[in-house]
Structure formats: C-alpha cells, structure tokens
A = this chain, B = another copy of it.
Amino acid sequence: MMLYAVRMDVAIPHDLDPGHRQELISAEKALCHELQRAGEWVHIWRVAGAYSNISIFDVADNERLHEILWSLPLFPYMRVQVDPLATHPSDLAVADAAGTDPK
C-alpha cells in the first residue's frame, strides 16, 4: 500500500440549488465514511478557517487514488493537491518495526 497527502479546497458555486448542494454534501460524507472503514482514507482533518481538508490516503496505487478522488461527489467543486509520500528516515515507527534502535 502507498500513502498520499491530499489537500482539498472546496468552492461550491453560490447559485447551486440548495437541495442539490445538500445531497452532494451528504453523499460526500457517506463515501468518506465508507472509505475510512475500508482503510483507504486514513486521516481527514479540517484546515482551521477554511472550507478545506488535509487527508492521508493509503491505497494500492496511483490508479486507485485517482479513482477515489474522481468519484467524490464534490470533486467538480474542489481544487485538489496530491503529494505522494515515502517513508521518512527519522520516522520512529519504521525504526521500531525493524527492531533496530533509531540512529
């Protein structure tokens, strides 16, 4: 599995039908919950003061990451920034997993 940091900035047009808007938000939340339960959307935080989130995804590959993001109901109203992640050499969890002392 591979990790990605994804920031989503949401800008729903002001003249969108309110009912449709609510449907999108509810569907977005339901899918988000489902992907969290599946272990693919491992973290989601709100950026204080913004209609934005910073999320961590753990998925099979680039293909799956795109499939998930493209399927989000609010995707057409988002600006999305993707940073593929790798293990950091200072990550303690990695050192512990390897049974070695961190150096």
Chain A positions near chain B (C-beta within 8 angstroms)? 2-6, 13-14, 16, 28-29, 32-33, 36-37, 43-51, 53-54, 56, 61-63, 65-67, 69-70, 76-77, 80-93, 95, 102-103
Known contacts A48-B69, A80-B50; decide if A28 and B85 are in contact (CB<8 Å): no
A56 to B54, CA, bound (A): 11
Main SS class of interface, A? mixed
Q: How many copies does the complex hold?
A: 10
User: Are A49 and B80 touching (Cβ within 8 A)?
Assistant: yes
A83 to B56, CA, bound (A): 15
The 9 closest A-B pairs by CB, nearest first: A66-B86, A45-B85, A48-B66, A36-B92, A62-B84, A49-B82, A48-B84, A32-B90, A46-B88
Partner of A28, one of B3, B65, B90: B90
* Inter-chain contacts of A70 with B (CB < 8 A): 49
A32 to B54, CA, bound (A): 22
